[in-house]
Structure 1
Amino acid sequence: MTVLPQQSAGAPDDYPANESDSAYRRTPPHDIDAEKAALAAMMFSPEAVADCQDAVREEDYYLPAHRILHNLMVERHSKGLPNAWPLLADDLEQRGTLARAGGRSYLTEVSLAFETGAAGEYYAGIVHRKAVLRRLTEAGVRITQAGFQGQGTVDELIAQAAGEIATVAEGASSSEDNDFVLPAEALADTLDYIEQARHRKGISGLATGYSDFDELTQGLHPGQLIVIAGRPGMGKSTAAMDIARNCAIKQGIPAAFVSLEMPVRELMMRLISAEGKVALHHLRSGHLTTEDMEKMDAVVPRIYQAQMHINDCERTYTAVQAKLRRLKAKHPDIGLIVLDYLQLMKLGGQRPETRQQEVSEISSSLKLLAKELQVPIVALAQLNRGPEMRTDRKPMVSDLRESGAIEQDADLVILLHRDDAYENESARAGEVDLIVGKHRNGPTTTITVASQLHYSRFVDMAQT
């Protein structure tokens, strides 16, 4: 009887060692016969190599020897070389890896598992499914160990657990499930979309309340990362609140607002000021006129009913991510997430060596989270001092502070500029430029809106 090559190190030995965890000492899911059958098909059929390469990955094999054989046959197939087992044995011997692949006798045994070339893809599918189950059990063990160790906050541990499961889920589909699509398969759906667009009234995405901007972008769409950037005092938080207010109050769509800069009370005062056109400094001082009180009485019920979920207590991305996932699970109709602002956030857990790397990782993670939750995420960002070094003081995308990865990850980058922030007597006092510096799905341009900062809001020029 042939002795199997040494099984993959790690899976059983990494499981908890005490007696109470003996249930975890079971042999991880695998199917050696299916692995042999898939490899045998690849030995005898070039077509099976292509099929199995699509259905299974090297790391899906339980036995290291089988990984070696899979890789070698894929490589030889790409060079137009046959994969008969004696040729494989000679090749492995020249490379000094024949013993690691089980030796000539084991290659012979694998070849005897051949049924037909067409069966290769079927057995490869079994190998892949077993590998997914194996990764799932390993992730479960790591989650259990993290729970027992209790290092980090509860939200960080939940985020870590969700990340473990998400990693398994991302690799659960074999590459055959993500195959190429021909125009004949995609054209009908595309033409339907175009026809619907022809007859559509209004925009296709979530309206921001800025008419010209919505016309340019067709609104904000699920999965997008939208970055609003500017120097301090330009009105980033005002623009973010405008968008969230338009979503939750004007359109009645639930929104999430994560603030790392302002407490809930400050956000609520800004919301009342913007919605009711009550001077913000009156709300702060308490010196309210009769007219102010009447305006407040008119808007407070609308604000009370609004589904704007505000969080001002988290500072790490892992904790925010965990809370947003739970919020989305509880309220599937969440239509917008706003984060104010990106550079105030820490990654959580083990941090990268540099702040630039940390911001880059947060930025890319936000884009992935937008795709996962299928919600547009608006993230505010600080610009460096670049605009102040220029004569016209206008910002550029390259001014994004601490990380060029923000620009790379974003679908839209909007740069805020106010002339009157630099010159009190500016001829453009009361105007704000929304400079669309990056637009993944359309042109870039500059859109001007009116600044009503005493009401903590921006509005279309036509509303002034």
Structure 2
Amino acid sequence: ADEAGGAAYLGKLTQDISSAANIDYHARIVLEKWILRQLITASMDIAHNAYEASEDVFDLLDAAESKIFRISEEGIKESFKSMDKAVKEALELIEAIHSKNISSFSVPSGFFELDEILGGFQKSDLIIIAARPSMGKTAFAMSAARNAAIDHHVPIGVFSLEMSTIQLATRLISAEARINAHNVRTGKFRAEEGAKISRTVHKLSKAPIYIDDTPGISILELRAKARRLKNEKNCGLIIVDYLQLVNPSSSMESREREISSISRSLKALAKELNIPVIALSQLNRAVESRSDKKPMLSDLRESGSIEQDADVVLFLYRPEMYQITTFGPGEMQGESTEGIAEVIVGKQRNGPTGEVKLKFIKDYARFENLDRFRQQLPAGEEPIAALEEPPF
């Protein structure tokens, strides 16, 4: 004992040993010091790359923000996972699927048949919604956003490159209140409809939907804003309306390469944030040159690498747009196509493909489940969406 410093020194050592009761406090200190070391390393890398200036300045900015975001978001997340941890996480996913609790591992679209096929919009997936103009791409995406945000309290980020925030909000009000969109825009609605609009605005004001309407936003700025939204609001789903209006990080030799760069960046964003990213995409006129106007995967092959980058590809198709008045062979053979839209699952990397029919109410710019799939409203939900007749 004397050689070690004497009894007094040994007694001091016992006092200096941390109690297990304070383990959380000390673990936090270790984590904070680790984060500081990571910040120092990242800052040195950023400074070195800036001095070198061998890359495009906006690429450097994106890389720098990504480094900092990973430190703040992931903390002590390891780059490799052991098989023990991987299979346990897989088991949690399997059990959630088995119990039909899809909201625990994905974002429900609110369209029952579609959720049966997809299991909801899966985390880290890039989902492409493609169609010709006027098929209802924005209406479909915003209907799904409404279902996720209001019914499942999922924070949604919307990058609207085609419509302003006010235009999009007006559409949401019309769809939720079930009042003719044109009447809402022009103020030609009755007094009782005005009261309904007020109630709807109060309801929608609480929805965790965040809209950015920056025109011609670059993919780097979009990714930076998405990271901040994830960090600040725990965003669970990103919607981009639409892909072809996003500007690439740098000009390229062909538009096809630019589109490929954007779609790859959106897929990387979905994986980085571990949330689904929905990107709307415009199909070209080649679809309409066929006798069968239904879109198919080959229609995307002229649009860069969208098909390859996407985990899920959904096509919207409304037969009535092509003066097709009744359905052909199938479940609804002979029935009217009026007000019916088909959602074609053209690709699903980890599941089956198929077709789903939905009700499309053009006057409200709203998609709904067909009546035979309608579920009861949650307790306390105002039944205007299911029970009221259109006010005209």
Q: Kindly tell me: are residues 329 and 386 of structure 1, through their superposed partners in 2, closer, same or farther at Cα, counting changes over 3 Å?
A: same
Structure 1 residues 85-96: aligned runs within 5 Å: none
Query: Given the alignment, which residue of 166, 169, 185 partners 1:265?
Result: 166
Structure 1 residues 240-389: aligned runs within 5 Å: 240-314=141-215, 315-331=217-233, 333-348=234-249, 350-389=250-289
The answer to whether 1:446 aligns with 2:355 is yes
Deviation at 1:264, TM superposition (A): 0.9
Q: TM-score, normalised by structure 2?
A: 0.73
Secondary structure, counterpart of 1:305 in structure 2: coil
Q: Kindly tell me: are residues 300 and 180 of structure 1, through their superposed partners in 2, closer, same or farther at Cα, counting changes over 3 Å?
A: closer
Bigger mean CA offset, 413-422 vs 294-303? 294-303
Deviation at 1:190, TM superposition (A): 3.9
Q: Kindly tell me: are residues 329 and 135 of structure 1, through their superposed partners in 2, closer, same or farther at Cα, counting changes over 3 Å?
A: closer
Deviation at 1:308, TM superposition (A): 0.9
Query: Given the alignment, which residue of 319, 338, 346 partners 1:437?
Result: 346
Q: Is the 8 A contact 2:219 2:247 kept in 1?
A: yes
Q: Specify every segment of 5 or more residues in structure 1 that has no aligned partner in the other structure, as ranges.
A: 1-131
In structure 2, the residue matched to 1:24 is: none
Q: Kindly tell me: are residues 370 and 351 of structure 1, through their superposed partners in 2, closer, same or farther at Cα, counting changes over 3 Å?
A: same
The answer to whether 1:235 aligns with 2:136 is yes
Q: Kindly tell me: are residues 142 and 188 of structure 1, through their superposed partners in 2, closer, same or farther at Cα, counting changes over 3 Å?
A: closer
In structure 2, the residue matched to 1:20 is: none
Deviation at 1:375, TM superposition (A): 1.2
Percent pairwise identity: 38
Query: Given the alignment, which residue of 353, 364, 369 partners 1:455?
Result: 364
Deviation at 1:397, TM superposition (A): 1.4
Give the CA RMSD over aligned residues. 3.1
Deviation at 1:145, TM superposition (A): 7.4
In structure 1, the residue matched to 2:29 is: none
Equivalent residues, number? 319
Structure 1 residues 11-50: aligned runs within 5 Å: none
Bigger mean CA offset, 409-418 vs 295-304? 295-304
Deviation at 1:144, TM superposition (A): 6.3
Q: Is the 8 A contact 2:257 2:304 kept in 1?
A: no
In structure 2, the residue matched to 1:161 is: 64
In structure 2, the residue matched to 1:405 is: 305
C-alpha distance in 2 between matches for 1:192 and 1:370: 21
Deviation at 1:403, TM superposition (A): 2.2
C-alpha distance in 2 between matches for 1:406 and 1:271: 28
Deviation at 1:404, TM superposition (A): 4.2
Q: Is the 8 A contact 1:160 1:318 kept in 2?
A: no
Q: Kindly tell me: are residues 249 and 135 of structure 1, through their superposed partners in 2, closer, same or farther at Cα, counting changes over 3 Å?
A: closer
Q: Is the 8 A contact 1:336 1:376 kept in 2?
A: yes
Deviation at 1:298, TM superposition (A): 2.0
In structure 2, the residue matched to 1:390 is: 290
C-alpha distance in 2 between matches for 1:327 and 1:201: 25
Deviation at 1:252, TM superposition (A): 2.0
Q: TM-score, normalised by structure 1?
A: 0.62
For 1:204-252, what per-residue CA distance to the aligned partner results, in whole angstroms no more than 9, with x for missing partners? 5211111100111111122111110000111101111111111222222
The answer to whether 1:428 aligns with 2:337 is yes
C-alpha distance in 2 between matches for 1:219 and 1:328: 19
Q: Kindly tell me: are residues 447 and 145 of structure 1, through their superposed partners in 2, closer, same or farther at Cα, counting changes over 3 Å?
A: same
Secondary structure, counterpart of 1:309 in structure 2: strand
Query: Given the alignment, which residue of 26, 44, 47 partners 1:140?
Result: 47
Q: Is the 8 A contact 1:398 1:404 kept in 2?
A: no
C-alpha distance in 2 between matches for 1:409 and 1:151: 26
Bigger mean CA offset, 243-252 vs 439-448? 243-252
For 1:285-313, what per-residue CA distance to the aligned partner results, in whole angstroms no more than 9, with x for missing partners? 11011232132122111111122110001
Q: Is the 8 A contact 2:131 2:283 kept in 1?
A: yes
Q: Specify every segment of 5 or more residues in structure 2 that has no aligned partner in the other structure, as ranges.
A: 1-38, 327-335, 375-385, 387-392
Q: Kindly tell me: are residues 395 and 238 of structure 1, through their superposed partners in 2, closer, same or farther at Cα, counting changes over 3 Å?
A: same
